[in-house]
Structures are given as structure tokens and as C-alpha cells.
Amino acid sequence: MDFPILGKLINGKRNTFLDTAASAQKPLVVVDAMKEIYLEEYANVHRGTYSLSEQITYKYEEARKKVQSFINAESKNEIIFTRGATESINLVASTWGRKNLKKGDEVLISEAEHHANLVPWQALKEELGFELRIFQIGDDGSFIWESFVKNLNKKTKLVSVTAMSNVLGVIFPIKKLCAEAHKFGAKVLIDACQFAVHYKIDVRDIDCDFLVFSGHKLYGPTGIGVLYGKYDIIEKMPPYQFGGDMIEKVSFDFSTYAEPPARFEAGTPAIVEAIGLAKALEYVENIGFENIEAHEKSLINYTNEKLSKVAGLRELCRIKDKGGVFSFVIDGVNSQDIAFVLDKEGVAVRTGHHCAEPLVARMGYHSVIRASLGLYSNEEDIDCLIDALIKAKTFF
């Protein structure tokens, strides 16, 4: 079994894991690769002239090349390793944003953003005085092109949006969106945390200026993420943090900084995690995104059909074409109470606002249940979810 944890009994029941949108389970190839490094190959990277350091440096930089290939970036130097998508967005806000945004400018985001793609811009707005504009989504959770376009203007300096909502599952037309934003001279940042798990990414085809994702959602380890940036943009950005490995020359009078990506990777990086991420990407590529998409599309249709038959269940997003995220409430029952009963049946779902509190409030709720799919999910998982939901309703 590629994912041994899925064979573990939960409260004596089958492990029905439906929380991949929060963090995916890890295949054995990732765990084994990281274990091997710690047991037999570990050293620090870049500065050692001994064999272990040279070997691990090679593997670390090969991991960067794997990410480059995975998203079809033009150069490995456009790939910056971070602790996750949250740090990646904060890096852009703290460097590009602080250098390029000023009073009178506008940053445009959607109502569907995760806190990680809202709060950094709010904080920077308070510091610099630019305007943060929010374009609306539909009452059914859909992307509204007209709402996006009417908020674009010559003052728009950055559009920062999700590619796929972690609450609604709605998929944004990111290629078309980038083309439209570029007509106004705006840069575009894509939060691909959810999207990258399910769909192939080609940053050159999308033509985004920045793109971020996290390793732990993509079947890789925690503590590692990616920031992609077009090189002509990131080479003009100032450092995000200061210390070892990001410098070119240091004296007591002044310091100069390395070229990207080293400029943005101060200190000892997440060496083993980066290599683990590369293994996870390799694992996904070996399965093939065309196979993942076909499997998940079939399972999404199956899930929609099953959920529609649960009396009193209301989904937040009711559009046909969306990703494998299902957020819902059951009339008259607290979401946390439902989740408690589901856990007793071995079914793992998430409740709350899912780090998208303004979005959940805009849809009319303060807490919702979310079930989310991964490549290991199957129809039996959905059947277990439905049976557990029906059982839960009998308690309340």
C-alpha cells in the first residue's frame, strides 16, 4: 500500500480520510527517501567541500530542477524554496509589494481567498496606504468574470487570487485572468495550493508573474513550499530575510546580496523536505495528471449525486465544474457536532471557516463541514461519509 496510514483503523472503523485540502497523506516513497537521507546521507548544503555535503547539495538543487520541470518554469533560478505558500505570499508582499506599491495604487483579490492571501495585503495596505479591492463571486460559489473585469483599472498594480478555492472548489480561469490583468500593466500572483494537487500547472502558458504552492498538500512533507517568480521581476526584489547563504560579500561597513534564488533562502534551508517534495512530485507525475483528473472527475460526480440525497444538506458551491472540495451544512445541526459523530465512524472531515472566514460569512455561515478528495480517495470513502452523515442526523 502506497499510503499505509489509510490501512489504520480509526475508532475501530475503516480510515476514511477526507481532509486532503488541509494536508495530504504521504506515500511511502516520500517517507523512505527522507528517512534514507537522515540515516545515510545528511549534511548541510552549498558550502561544504566534503563528499556528503557535495552529494546532498546536488540532490537539493536537483529538487529545485524537479519543481522547475513540474510547473514548466523557464529557469531553475525562478524557483524559491520557502516554508509554504503562506511564506511565499508574505515574501512577495514584503519585498515586491513594499518596493512597488504606494498610496493611490490598488491590489485586487477575490472574496474566495484564504487568509494567507488576504491578511498580508491588509497589513501592507495599513503601512503603505494603497487600496485593497475585493471582487465578488456568485451566490452559488461561481467565478464571475464581469465582477473581476469591472474592478480592473490603470491603478491596479497586482492581482492576487486563488486558482481553486479551498472552501468552494471553484476553479478560477487563471490564464484568461492573467491576460486581462496584463492589459492594465498589473502583475498577477496565483495561489495554487489547492489547484496543484489536482491539475497540471504550466506557468509559461498561464503567464503568471508569481505562483505559490505548499508541499504538504501535494503529498510531500510539511515545512516546504515554493514561490515561482519571473526572473526579471525577482532579480529586482530586495531580500526577505538576512543571514547565511543569501549574501555575496559581507564586511562591517556593507553587504551585497546573492542573485535569486539564493537571495531569498537565508540560513540553512529545508534540505530534506525539499528532496521529499521532489519525490512527491515524481510520484504524482508517475501516476499522471490525466489519470488523476479522470479519477477525481468521476468521484466528484459520484459525491455530488450522493450528497444531493442527504435530507437537509446544503452545499455552499452548487456549480457543476469544480474541484474535489465539498463544503456544506445540515439544517438545524451544528457542524462540529456532525464532525464529532463522523470521527466515531472513522470519517475525517474539517469544520469551521477553513482559514477563509470572510468567504464563509459571505456565503451566510460561520462554520461549515468540508470533505475533500485526494488521489487515494474512492467511492467507498464517499459511501462511508454518507452513511456516517445519515447516522449523525439521528443523534440530533
Q: And the C-alpha cell for 37?
A: 537521507
355 tagged catalytic: yes
Taking Cα atoms as reference points, which of 108, 241, 272 lies closest to residue 185? Answer: 108
The active-site residue, picked from 178, 193, 317, 355, is: 355
Q: Which residues contact 254 (CB under 8 A, 6 or more apart)?
A: none
Q: How far apart are CA 202 and CA 24, in angstroms?
A: 22
Q: How far apart are CA 351 and CA 333, in angstroms?
A: 13
Give start and end residues of each alpha helix (H) in the chain: 28-36, 51-71, 85-92, 98-100, 119-128, 145-150, 174-183, 195-198, 203-206, 231-234, 271-287, 289-307, 335-344, 357-362, 379-393
Q: How far apart are CA 85 and CA 120, in angstroms?
A: 12
Specify the residue for cell string 552549498. Answer: 46
User: Can you name the residues that pair with 225 across neighbouring β-strands?
Assistant: 82, 214
Q: How far apart are CA 69 and CA 76, in angstroms?
A: 8
Q: Which residues contact 294 (CB under 8 A, 6 or more apart)?
A: none
The amino acid at residue 289 is: F
Backbone angles phi, psi at 280, to 5 degrees: -65, -40
Taking Cα atoms as reference points, which of 120, 121, 214 lies closest to residue 163? Answer: 214
SS3 assignment, position 62: helix
Taking Cα atoms as reference points, which of 204, 151, 202, 142 lies closest to residue 180? Answer: 151
Catalytic site residues? Answer: 355
